[in-house]
Structure 1
């Protein structure tokens, strides 16, 4: 059969990369493919994991190559969505992540769906999407990511007080630190700064930095950081003032979510704590 000259060539994969470089749960999803096709798809997904931080554009090409071979597999659609988000192709990210949710029934990537709507300058739709899931059914990490995304959408709309309240979830606990804590603390600090509460913002920014340092030393532990910071109830704050100045969209960095297969370490963006795309060994 003659090759279509218009079809983009797949990026090369080193011989050392094998299907064993992705998790068993991923390989199980690929069992509906022929053995040869499953092997190539798994190797492309492994390359996504390897390249996403150093060369996201090339990682995205590997994800697209996997999709050309296995476009109906949930984890493949998810991976394309995550890499598209990473390179800033928000329409493609939204389409693929919605397809993944439809196929898998999972809301694990809902935060990226919401933030992709933000990336397309549609904060109202972002908030609507965020309300589609029962947050009690989400894992703590995904719940944190979703809170940060919805807070960003509120900021895009100039609803700064509401943006702060979106972050005031049970996981905003200054006494205990998990992988998802640093990005949540930092988002809270940034929003406090936007509201002109510089002293409170510094406390939370310092706490985020201390949490990151503590987690770097003991990545698998739940750490206690004794800190007396009282989180005011939303009802105690001034009511939302419609004259609040809207802040420019995307002043806060969008998610740094990576469906890459690395450990679920938090970073400046919230996405890493709740990702669920192919994971490496």
Structure 2
């Protein structure tokens, strides 16, 4: 792992540290990013190692939060995301924070966050990510019609591709299925599979089950 592989904006955040400390932290952060999908526990260990060397930099706290999130450690992720925001993180963390609130058993808080001024400013994929979280929170509360309304306002674009589009289509399909609208659900699982160019969902398996 080379320090130079770290994103330039994160390197700039580390510029207040000594060169040796910054390079060590940078290598840990690069390792955390590379391991995130295949070994999130190892990614978390690297991010935490970076935090032990400097816990007052937003990008480091954010990295710990993301790794903890991938490990399903909602409490730790929530604490780190909040710390990153206090330190001035420019990243769009609201959807992740709302999902952590769901994870710790507070779906009502996730819904409350979706009504904040910050949420109103979200656009594009960031807004879609929050919609997915809020719909999940509604489903947690047994409010399936409200979940569908969240996902359908506006209705997902069946022609969109990418991970967020795939997950949005999948959530829409799954909610339709929970409401016993099977034929519509099948069509949206097909849309999800078409959008899922990276194979992040099991949409194709769901299609096989329903066909």
> What is the TM-score with the length of structure 2 in the denominator?
0.89
* Deviation by residue 1:121-150 (Cα, 9 ceiling, x = unmatched): 111112112222444522411111110000
**Could you tell me which residue of structure 2 aligns to residue 267 of structure 1?**
200
User: 5+ unaligned residues in a row in structure 2: which ranges?
Assistant: 203-211
From the CA coordinates, give the structure whose radius of gyration is larger.
Answer: 1
Instruction: State yes or no: 1:127 paired with 2:106.
Output: no
**Could you tell me which residue of structure 2 aligns to residue 24 of structure 1?**
8
The Cα of 1:90 is off from its aligned counterpart by: 0.9
Instruction: State yes or no: 1:186 paired with 2:170.
Output: yes
The Cα of 1:179 is off from its aligned counterpart by: 4.6
Q: Contact (CA 8 Å) 2:147, 2:175: kept in 1 or not? A: yes
Instruction: State yes or no: 1:87 paired with 2:20.
Output: no
User: What is the aligned residue count?
Assistant: 202
The Cα of 1:267 is off from its aligned counterpart by: 3.1
> What is the TM-score with the length of structure 1 in the denominator?
0.67
**Could you tell me which residue of structure 1 aligns to residue 188 of structure 2?**
204
The Cα of 1:81 is off from its aligned counterpart by: 0.7
Aligned partners of 1:32 and 1:107: how far apart in 2?
A: 20
Q: How does 1:153-232 map to 2 (within 5 A)?
A: 153-170=137-154, 172-212=156-196, 216=197
Question: Per the alignment, do residues 123 and 204 of structure 1 end up closer, same or farther by CA in structure 2, a change over 3 Å counting?
Answer: same
**Could you tell me which residue of structure 2 aligns to residue 137 of structure 1?**
121
Aligned partners of 1:178 and 1:88: how far apart in 2?
A: 23
The Cα of 1:168 is off from its aligned counterpart by: 1.9
User: 5+ unaligned residues in a row in structure 1: which ranges?
Assistant: 1-16, 217-264, 270-281
Q: Which has the bigger relative contact order, CA under 8 A and spacing at least 6?
A: 1
The Cα of 1:102 is off from its aligned counterpart by: 2.2
Q: Contact (CA 8 Å) 1:44, 1:65: kept in 2 or not? A: yes
| Bigger helix fraction | 2
Work out which of the residue numbers 62, 70, 78 in structure 2 matches 1:78: 62
Aligned partners of 2:2 and 2:159: how far apart in 1?
A: 43
